[in-house]
Amino acid sequence: DGGITQSPKYLFRKEGQNVTLSCEQNLNHDAMYWYRQDPGQGLRLIYYSQIVNDFQKGDIAEGYSVSREKKESFPLTVTSAQKNPTAFYLCASGGTTNEKLFFGSGTQLSVL
């Protein structure tokens, strides 16, 4: 099946710890995106990448980092600098014109 896979589904972070969320797609899409979803806040863009080895900051990039070493993979690291990391994180992929995005099923990150 073609699609976009996020793992893990649930993740817990201890204070001062970095955690990495995985996102893999087999749709042969050039562009990949990370969004953060908080209750009542909609989807806010963290980082996006339109080509391998290149990525841009979104609206709320502080405290996050990404890499794009392969077309299929776009992992997100939530660093200890992100003081309010509890949220639902969504990865998406699509064409470079950002039409028709496909979303993964999300990772719920909570702080212990």
Partner 1 sequence: GENVEQHPSTLSVQEGDSAVIKCTYSDSASNYFPWYKQELGKGPQLIIDIRSNVGEKKDQRIAVTLNKTAKHFSLHITETQPEDSAVYFCAASKNSGYSTLTFGKGTMLLVSP
Query: Which CB sits closer to partner 1, 20 or 56?
Result: 56
Cβ 65 to partner 1 shortest distance, Å: 18
Cβ 108 to partner 1 shortest distance, Å: 9
Instruction: Name the 3-class secondary structure at 109.
Output: strand
Query: Which CB sits closer to partner 1, 63 or 106?
Result: 106
Query: Which CB sits closer to partner 1, 50 or 82?
Result: 50
What's the token pair of residue 10?
Answer: 């649930």
CB-CB neighbours of 17 under 10 Å: 13
Which residues contact partner 1 by CB under 8 A?
6, 33, 40-45, 48, 50, 56, 58-59, 90, 92, 96-106
Q: Is residue 103 within 8 Å of 4, Cβ to Cβ?
A: yes
Measured distance between the N- and C-terminal CA atoms of the chain, rounded to whole angstroms: 35
What's the token pair of residue 57?
Answer: 């900051």
